[in-house]
Amino acid sequence: MKNIIAVFMLFCTVSYGQSGLPYQIYTSKGKKVTYEKMIKELTKNDVVLFGEFHNNSLGHWLQLQVTQSLGEKRELMLGAEMFEADNQKGLSDYVHGAIDEEAFGKEVRLWNNYKTDYKPLVEYAKTNKREFIATNVPRRYASLLFKKGTEALDSLSVEEKSWIAPLPFAYDGNLPGYKKMLDMFEDHKDENLPKAQAIKDATMGHFIVKNFKAPQLFLHFNGSYHSNNFEGIVWYLNHYNPGLKINTITMVESDNTGNFENDNLGLANFIIVIDANILKSF
> For residue range 221-267, what is the model confidence (pLDDT) as tens digits?
999 999 999 999 999 999 999 999 999 999 999 999 999 999 999 99
Q: How far is 91 from 126, CA to CA, in rounded Å?
A: 10
* pLDDT at residue 164, rounded to an integer: 98
> Burial code of 196-211, b = ≥16 C-beta within 10 A, e = fewer?
bbbbbbbbbbbbbbee
From the list 89, 188, 95, the residue with the least C-alpha distance to 146 is: 188
| Residue 75 near residue 217 (C-beta atoms within 8 A) | yes
CA-to-CA dists, residue 9 to 5, 12, 30, angstroms:
6, 5, 29
Q: Nearest 5 degrees, angle CA 173-CA 177-CA 180?
A: 90
* pLDDT at residue 20, rounded to an integer: 74
Domains detected in the chain: 2-275 (3.40.50.11550)
Inform me whether the pLDDT recorded for 41 exceeds 50: yes
Inform me whether the pLDDT recorded for 8 exceeds 70: no
Percent of the chain whose predicted confidence (pLDDT) is above 70: 92
* pLDDT at residue 15, rounded to an integer: 43
User: Which H helix or E strand runs over 272?
Assistant: strand 270-275
